[in-house]
Amino acid sequence: MTEVRTIGLLGGMSWESSIEYERIINTAVREALGGVHSASLIVRSYDFAHIERLQAAGEWDSAGSLLAADARHLQDAGAGLIVLCTNTMHRCAEAIEAAIDVPFLHLADATAEAVVAAEVTDVALLGTRYTMEEDFYRARLERHGLVVIVPEEPDRTLVHEVIYEELVKGVVSRVSQEAYLDVIGRLRERGAGGVIAGCTEIELLVGPDDVDLPYFPTTALHAQAAARWALAGLDEA
């Protein structure tokens, strides 16, 4: 039997969400193949404190060089697909893509495909301040014909601070969950027909059962797309 194809994961940003990538991909492979099958993964996990310092200092070129070099190392180690397990660091996606010869599975593309398939056109985006305010992510979604709605202030600051002060540290608060749901309610009033959890940690706080709009959990969507790629190699064998 031909083995599943190998995925290279750039993770640890934060590890709270990266372990969800591993869980989802491994579960998908086991469910598809049965027995004790699991995914073939090569993982580079970072000390998030270093990455966060680069983000805060606006040193995106340095961050991109780091990620690009490690993506190349994953490729050289045998990965046939590179997956960056974080929304925010997709600001460095172009640097990574330029450094590798294998495919790069862009998180925003995997998410947008799910939104389009659900026939949602106007969609709310929650994430870090970088993801909500800069074009690197929103513009990628808009390429798929979506209208992206982000929170107004002070809601953007609230969403951002809960991520960095709580979720990346493993703190899940009912108070913060209710605050997020209030933000989502205001986005709905502005015309949002769905919600993108555009930070991989947000899914630890708000799930699809918590909202009455179509909900697009980027970690799950991205990881499931990666698993489909890994299993597609069996169909080609």
Q: Is 92 part of the annotated catalytic residue set?
A: no
Q: Catalytic residue among 6, 86, 88, 219, which?
A: 86
Query: CA–CA separation, 66 vs 59, rounded Å?
Result: 11
In the chain, alpha helices (H): 15-33, 48-56, 60-76, 93-99, 107-117, 129-133, 135-142, 155-165, 174-189, 218-236
Q: Is the dihedral of CA 201, 19, 112, 193 positive or negative?
A: negative
Q: Is 88 part of the annotated catalytic residue set?
A: no
Total residues belonging to the chain: 237
Q: Catalytic residue among 92, 111, 128, 199, which?
A: 199
Q: SS3 of 42, please?
A: strand
Query: Which residues are tagged catalytic?
Result: 86, 199
